[in-house]
Amino acid sequence: MKIAFIGDIVGRPGRKIISHHLSAIKDEYGIDCVIANGENASHGFGLTVKNANELFKYGIDVITGGNHTWDKKKDILVLLEDNRVLRPANYPEGVSGSGVGIYDINGTKLAVINLMGLYTMPQCENPFNIAISIVEDLLAQGIKHIFCDFHAEVTAEKRVLFMILKNKISAMCGTHTHVGTDDLQIIDGTFYLTDIGLTGCCDNVIGMESTVPVKKALTGLGGHFKIPNDCKSILQMAIIDIDDMGLAKDGLKIKLYSDGQRVISQAYKAK
């Protein structure tokens, strides 16, 4: 099974570059399932029903969330009735939706887990203990192909969760910072990447027009972040090849820019 994961989609520029390139990349690499973090896909904050359907049309199969999941509250309450849209599993009990989805991929079950970190994040439960419980339950069901999107600010939190889950899940990718890392590796059959990085504008500040964040840095006075109408954009995607036992065999990361440049990083495989 080959799965792909696309980083935080930020507004129209992110959706646009996906529309231009995702189908060809799926064909080129023989991808069976595409997962994407979409909590910034609508104007940079939240996800609307319209934009979710747009992303599904482009070839995305599962959409994960994070701290901006509830920014378009009416829309997300509708979307969370669809098992293709997840929110972090460690939101407190009673919150709508699910943080775990199980999907049939060519006759094999693939589980997708969405979790959120602790530092600087909204109120949520301990993601580490919840992750252990979820994975144990999935393995007891005989589900071996498991992917986790860990939406967290702190790199150490992501690394700690990887240390807990390696050799138990197929892959884990971090999201949230919008700043991509290239520390992709496979250890004990689990693919890891600290942060996949944003998909959207890449010549400003984390996908947003730079005027407001620069002003805030200089004066302490904030404002409303906006997505530029015109920018250089990037599509960031991890592709993971998983064997029949649910172990990652190979992995890479693609950075595809709107000017046509493509950078590919190969996962380090520990012996």
Catalytic residue from among 68, 151, 176, 178:
68
- What sign has the CA pseudo-torsion 134, 2, 117, 44? negative
Reported pTM: 0.96
Token digits of residue 154: 């702190």
Residue ranges covered by each domain of the chain: 2-201+232-269
Q: Of 199, 202, 191, which is closest to residue 150 (Cα–Cα)? A: 191
The strand pair at 145-151 and 108-116 is best described as parallel
Residue 49: alpha-carbon gap to chain centroid: 18
Q: Is the pLDDT score of 224 beyond 90?
A: no
Q: Of 106, 95, 64, 68, which is closest to residue 82 (Cα–Cα)? A: 64
**Residue 82 neighbours by CB under 8 Å, 6+ apart:** none
pLDDT digits (tens, 9 = 90+) for 24-50: 999 999 999 999 999 999 999 999 999
Of all residues in the chain, the percent with pLDDT exceeding 70 is 100
Q: Of 129, 167, 127, 168, which is closest to residue 149 (Cα–Cα)? A: 127
Centre a 10 Å sphere on the Cβ of residue 247 and count the other Cβ atoms it contains.
19
Q: What are phi and psi of 244, to 5 degrees?
A: -65, -20
Centre a 10 Å sphere on the Cβ of residue 245 and count the other Cβ atoms it contains.
10
197, 182 in Cβ contact below 8 A? no
2-201+232-269: what fold?
Answer: Purple Acid Phosphatase; chain A, domain 2 (3.60.21)
pLDDT digits (tens, 9 = 90+) for 108-123: 999 999 999 999 999 9
pLDDT recorded at residue 30 = 98
**Mean of the per-residue pLDDT values for the chain?**
96
Which region, left, alpha or beta, applies to residue 142 given φ > 0 means left and ψ of -120 to 50 means alpha?
left
Token digits of residue 217: 């840095």
Q: Is 68 a catalytic residue?
A: yes
Which amino acid is residue 110, in one-letter code? L
pLDDT digits (tens, 9 = 90+) for 45-55: 999 999 999 99
CA atoms within 13 A on the CB side of 190: 21
pLDDT digits (tens, 9 = 90+) for 61-105: 999 999 999 999 999 999 999 999 999 999 999 999 999 999 999
Centre a 10 Å sphere on the Cβ of residue 236 and count the other Cβ atoms it contains.
26
Q: How far apart are the first and last CA of the chain?
A: 22
Token digits of residue 247: 């172990």
pLDDT recorded at residue 271 = 76
